[in-house]
Amino acid sequence: MHIVQTHIRDILEEALRPAQLTVRDDSHRHAGHAEAGSAQETHFFVHIQGSEELKGLSRVQQQKRVYQLLDALMPHPIHALAMKIE
């Protein structure tokens, strides 16, 4: 696992305590894009399952919470973040 990917995982695990968390680096799919520049880790997908911290929130509120937690990493080094929350 890479540094940014690990950092994302650590932040989300500590704050959300999910039953299951997947953090996938999709940067290779965007190699050569101008936005990617020379950075190696820029595009990520997170799948969060079973977080009591997000339970009862609307989908928009859940996503806002994740973005708040990762705010210091956006827009650099994270250029794009996709997520699925269950």
What pLDDT was estimated at residue 9? 96
Q: How far is CA 67 from CA 19, 31, 33, 78, 84, in A?
A: 19, 24, 23, 11, 13
What pLDDT was estimated at residue 49? 98
Total domain count for the chain? 1
Mean pLDDT for 56-81 is 92
Query: pLDDT grade, residue 4 (50/70/90)?
Result: confident
Which residue in 73, 57, 58 sits closest to 8, CA to CA?
73
What pLDDT was estimated at residue 35? 54
DSSP letter at 8?
Answer: H
Q: Which domain holds residue 61?
A: 3-85
Q: Please provide residue 50's backbone torsions phi and psi, each rounded to the nearest 5 degrees.
A: 70, 40
Query: pLDDT grade, residue 42 (50/70/90)?
Result: confident
Query: pLDDT grade, residue 14 (50/70/90)?
Result: very high
Q: Around Cβ 68, how many Cβ atoms within 10 Å?
A: 10
Q: What CATH number is attached to the domain comprising 29?
A: 3.30.300.90
